[in-house]
Structure 1
């Protein structure tokens, strides 16, 4: 009986998703009114939610469910539901994308679309975790869906950080994304804070402004996308931070709002490689720079680099890499 009930829910959700994919899919203005009973349950939609909140919850939940599919199905799922497609690209046009080479049979493409919809519905009722689409929307105006950092240590203490950050808006009209980095030690200040040793440049995705010290060791700034983001919109920033001094031998992400994934690559000076390197995984920020706790070791490759990744980062916890410098 339990299995039959589960299958009935999957079929019901599949039917709702097939209605949702029509027309412009998730980009349709009418999306909030198309959310059926099963999808509302999966996305944590409440009766009092505004249309913008409903959109944000649905888009975020579907995006996370797609990430749970086998890699070979993810691209198809995104196209079918309208992720990353043209603003006016309707379902029949998106369906044509699924044809490859000489295989452009309409029935074949429709079958692929139906299969991937079923897999999404199956994932929705088979996953043991509560969906972040509902939780994240109440945890702030935005959250990070993907963060990738390349840290290059160019000297004894100098460092260059290249960061690609994809954010998802939870509100309508999000014009600025507040960001901050910790210097892990007091900045050198004489009277007014001296930020001359800190260079922050947006390479793509918008502009940076309002760089300021918010404490003796924390620098805040704002990232502004080319145009305000609506609820459910995704946007990617790529920027560079140059530090004349990296006071402490570790690099961490300590998110204020939820972060779904964080991939970190650290390139050390091959002339003076660290004595040892370790992974910092979900620790309190005050403990992140402590070298004493037992942690998972990381090892440099032939290029003098280490790589590690994290998923579903919790706010106010630290994730990254620490190391013991060469003596």
Structure 2
């Protein structure tokens, strides 16, 4: 099927309605032009549609200027901070972020959609592997050791970053802890403690949502483009849900995860790979079954992580819990 730019623009504008890519009946908003341009089969369900569209749209969006990129991420609900149920609220978030009025942001969204359609139709979309450099930095190796044997679980994180621009002075990190109780309840500070072992100084910590904490780590000295730097952090965190995942904000080449469970280990453990973060909390997102070894440990590796997707493990404490999902 030959796809016209006008048809694709029309369908992309329809895709931003409601919850954007997180619409419950997403398939109703995906027409023939989108399916043809992005190679989507007619039998794809909502989850597969969401995954495919995200994989195809994100490289296109990342290739655009900053104001268009932020506007489009908000319009389609592709950034967690703007994952609001109504389009008008996502526009307001983008307007606040860009320090522009909503009318200007709507024009930016229309401009960005027109550019997306041109790129898709011309076949010039950048085919970005997960290790493609971000505008500022990316993770070469992330090694995590999580022990659940302590009264408060501890996470040791060893990360090697690579500067993708000159004069890199800070790393913008983030950690999400799904809070117990009512959705939207602010996470208490006591639920998360952060210690820097080496590689920088923690200069700010702020809530980006009810369960996502933004962390800024100042480096000992500015990095030049291509330079590598190692950091080590320890997190003490109260887990309210039985999963641990990495949802990278920047590309990550390798995520190496060790988890040590208390004895006896969980009845069931599953590997999660390229899962939407919101879906991780759903008990139906069980992943691929894996087994803990004789001392209650699992070791999993993930390569070429795509920003915005979740990678890690979830577990069920009892046989009854495991068979009910």
TM bracket (short chain): 0.5 to 0.7
SS, match of residue 278 in structure 2: helix
Q: Which residue of 2 aligns with 1:298?
A: 290
Please say if residues 286 and 314 of structure 2, whose CA atoms lie closer than 8 Å, have aligned partners that are also in contact. Answer: no
Q: Which residue of 2 aligns with 1:265?
A: 258
Pairing 1:1-327 to 2, within 5 Å after superposition: 136-137=132-133, 139-155=134-150, 158-185=152-179, 194-243=188-237, 245-270=238-263, 272-293=264-285, 295-326=287-318
* CA deviation after TM superposition for structure 1 residue 295, in Å: 2.5
Deviations 1:153-190, CA, capped at 9 Å, x for gaps: 1357x3100001111111111110010100022599xx
Deviation >4 Å, runs of 4+: 129-133
Alpha-carbon distance in 1 for matches of 2:210, 2:153 = 19
Q: Secondary structure at the match of 2:265?
A: coil
Point out where structure 1 has 5 or more consecutive residues left out of the alignment: 1-128
The answer as to whether partners of 1:186 and 1:217 remain within 8 angstroms in 2 is: no
Q: Which moved more, 1:273-282 or 1:191-200?
A: 191-200
**In the alignment, which residue of structure 2 is the partner of 1:106?**
none
What is the alpha-carbon distance in structure 2 between the residues aligned to residue 284 and residue 194 of structure 1? 25
Gap change, CA 1:187 and 1:161, over 3 Å in 2: farther
Distance 1:211 1:254 in 2: 18
Cα distance, 1:183–1:229 mapped onto 2, change above 3 Å: same
8 Å contact kept, 2:186–2:211? no
Question: C-alpha distance in 1, partners of 2:190/2:273?
Answer: 32
Shift in alpha-carbon separation, 1:209–1:187, aligned structure 2, 3 A: farther
Q: RMSD across aligned C-alpha pairs, in angstroms? A: 2.7
2-side partners of 1:211 and 1:154: how far apart? 27
Aligned to 2:60: none
SS in 2 for 1:215: coil
**Displacement after TM superposition at 1:290 (Å):** 2.3
State the shift of 1:211 in Å: 1.5
What SS is found at the alignment partner of 1:225?
strand
**Structure 2 Cα separation of the partners of residues 288 and 194 of structure 1:** 22
Question: Is the contact made by 1:146 and 1:261 (CA closer than 8 Å) also made in structure 2?
Answer: yes
Displacement after TM superposition at 1:264 (Å): 0.5
Following the alignment from structure 1 to structure 2, what is the Cα–Cα distance between the partners of residues 199 and 278? 27
Q: Secondary structure at the match of 1:176?
A: strand
Give the 3 Å change call, closer, same or farther, for CA 181–187 of structure 1 in structure 2.
Answer: farther
- Deviation of 1:136 after TM superposition, in Å, equals 2.7
1:151–1:174 Cα change, 3 Å? same
The CA deviation at 1:202 is: 0.9
Once the 2 structures are TM-superposed, how far is the Cα of residue 286 of structure 1 from its aligned partner? 1.2
Aligned length: 193
Distance, in Å, in 1 between the alignment partners of 2:241 and 2:204 is: 25
Structure 2 Cα separation of the partners of residues 186 and 170 of structure 1: 38
> Take 1:192 and 1:290, find their aligned partners in 2: how far apart are those partners?
20
Q: Describe the shift of the 1:317–1:132 C-alpha distance in structure 2 as closer, same or farther (beyond 3 A).
A: closer
Unaligned 5+ segments in structure 2 are 1-125
Report if the CA contact (8 A) 1:282-1:319 is conserved. Answer: yes
Larger mean Cα displacement after TM superposition, 218-227 or 259-268: 218-227
1:197 is displaced (CA, Å) by 3.5
